[in-house]
Amino acid sequence: KIITMDWMNGKHFSEFTKEKNTQEDLNKIGQTLWDFYMYQMHILKKVHADPHPGNFLVSENKELLVIDFGCIKEIPEDFYIPYFELAKQENLNNPEIFTEKLYLLEILRKDDSLKEKEFFTKLFYELLELFTRPFNRENFDFSDESFFQEIADLGQRYAKLSDMKGMNANRGSRHFIYLNRTFFGLYNMMHDLKANTVMINNYKNYIL
């Protein structure tokens, strides 16, 4: 195997987002970034699992350049299927299906007490309903401050809860760590861009 390197010219992503850019350019970069991740997740099943501004450049022609592939996560089928089935609103709102998928994803355990089952079912419903909201839209506005405020509020609320004392919080498939980190980083970058018209399923246009 041969590892090669190439020199790329461009501005760091964080530098680009601080400049005055047209909404058209911001949406173009945002759409490219979103398609880049959705294609990896849904088609390749291998994803660049470290999305932060330091790993991306923007060229003079407003092209998105990826400069670091140091963290690649393979998404196994037995995780991918239940994870993205819970991205569908109809499954989230079906208690029987929702509970079944939580067990498959190792969020709920067979040795859970009734209190633990109720607590973690509620927690992950709120978490997944919020984080999968873009997947239930044809287009999504990542400049929406209220959406990101909801994410911040949910994190703060559960960080302060004392209800978890005595509960087994060690749960969830090990693949969750990488996917949640990936989505959190991706959403923050999309918000930095203030991309306000992102076509969620546009990545399908690149399937050969």
Same domain, 35 and 85: no
Separation of alpha carbons 84 and 100, rounded Å: 13
Annotate 79-107 with DSSP letters as a single string: HHHHHHHTTSHHHHT-HHHHHHHHHHTTS
Percent pLDDT > 70 in the chain is 98
82 within a domain of the structure (yes/no): yes
Q: Is the pLDDT of residue 163 over 70?
A: no
Host domain of residue 42: 11-73
* The total number of residues written for the chain in this structure: 208
Same domain, 122 and 30: no
Q: Yes or no: say if 129 and 146 are a contact pair by the CB < 8 Å rule.
A: no
37 within a domain of the structure (yes/no): yes
Task: Output the pLDDT for position 162.
Answer: 63
Task: Output the pLDDT for position 108.
Answer: 94
pLDDT in tens, 18-34: 999 999 999 999 999 99
- Cα radius of gyration (the chain): 19
pLDDT higher for 179 or 70?
179
Q: Yes or no: say if 39 and 205 are a contact pair by the CB < 8 Å rule.
A: no
Q: Yes or no: say if 98 and 86 are a contact pair by the CB < 8 Å rule.
A: yes
Section 91-117 average pLDDT: 94
- DSSP, collapsed to helix, strand or coil, labels residue 205 as helix
pLDDT higher for 44 or 207?
44
Same domain, 84 and 35: no
pLDDT in tens, 42-89: 999 999 888 899 999 999 999 999 987 778 889 999 999 999 999 999
The DSSP symbol for 134 reads G
pLDDT-derived band at 164 (thresholds 50, 70, 90) equals low
Specify the residue for token string 């998928």.
101
pLDDT higher for 133 or 7?
133
Q: 73, 89, 118 — which closes off a domain? A: 73
Same domain, 23 and 108: no
Number of structural domains, the chain? 2
198 within a domain of the structure (yes/no): no
Q: Is the pLDDT of residue 161 over 70?
A: no
Same domain, 83 and 24: no
Same domain, 67 and 84: no
Same domain, 15 and 98: no
Separation of alpha carbons 205 and 50, rounded Å: 24
Same domain, 81 and 183: yes
Instruction: Identify the weakest region by mean pLDDT among 33-42, 48-57, 88-97.
Output: 48-57
Task: Output the pLDDT for position 94.
Answer: 97
98 within a domain of the structure (yes/no): yes
Task: Output the pLDDT for position 207.
Answer: 86
Instruction: Identify the weakest region by mean pLDDT among 4-8, 89-93, 100-104, 141-145.
Output: 4-8
